[in-house]
Amino acid sequence: MDPWSELAGQSPAVEAVRDTVRRLLARQQPGRRPPAILLQGETGTGKGLLARLIHRLGPRARGEFVDVNCAAIPETLLESELFGYERGAFTDARKAKPGLFQTAHLGTIFLDEVGSLPEALQAKLLTVIEERAVRRLGGTRPEPADAWIISATNADLQSGVRERRFREDLYHRLAVFTLRLPPLRERDGDVLMLAERFLARVVVALERADVHPHLGRSRLPRERRDPHGLPAAGRGPLHSASSEATRCRASSCSSARMTSRAIVSYQSATSAG
């Protein structure tokens, strides 16, 4: 299977992204550190998917791929998660722990929503990039942390630089190579193809659905049983499991029908236009 098929789409905008990444990876030489990549695009354009694809096809494929959502980790924990900590660095630090940059050593670290990094961590990240080493929280010595950095944002980091919300020197370190992912409204012809792909996944999920795991999970209260200890007619475990599975299938089928109708409507509108 062609790995590029994961980046679904046949529009000129998506083909341009593929060609740009292919050229970038073709220029990489063994033993040399690959350039930092900044992926820009709206939420849902596939920045995380492309980052994983670049890692798999790039020079650091044998190393770890570490995915970090900078906006999802509380600011108070982000430094220790990224850079690690030594035993006794804070109240609950009962033993030392390496950070995510050390986990990604000789691999790739993906910093999603990098624009949300607080200013203090921006300075420390810049140091890690420049020195290829990290000093844990509470530590006194640097440790190797040579990771290929792929970052992503749905914000305008250049505006952040002008407004002094994001360090200019860090921006230039992260944006050695910049790639913009187009939103769906700019991908002419891809809407129908993506809808059909999603519909196919729903159909496969329906075909794999199995009722058996539900059997035997239903338990009836004692007052609902007859004097002989048998479940009331039509209310046994098989009936309950069957009803539950039927409801699940009905819900999935409804989603599939809605998607199918959307495809037909889109085809009709395209033909009419």
State pLDDT tens for residues 20-67. 999 999 998 877 889 999 999 999 999 999 999 999 999 999 999 999
- The pLDDT value given to residue 261: 60
Q: Which CATH class is domain 3-183?
A: alpha beta
According to the model, what pLDDT value does residue 159 have? 95
Kindly tell me the sign of the dihedral angle through the C-alpha atoms of 86, 126, 73, 111. Answer: negative
- Mean pLDDT score across all residues of the chain: 82
Give residue 89's pLDDT. 83
What is the pLDDT, as a whole number, of residue 9?
A: 87
DSSP SS3 for 137:
strand
pLDDT tens column, 118-147:
999 999 999 999 999 999 989 889 999 999
Domain range summary for the chain, segments of one domain joined by + = 3-183, 190-272
Q: What pLDDT, on a 0 to 100 scale, did the predictor assign at position 91?
A: 82
Name the band, by pLDDT with cuts 50, 70 and 90, for residue 260. Answer: low
Say how far apart CA 15 and CA 28 lie, in whole Å.
21
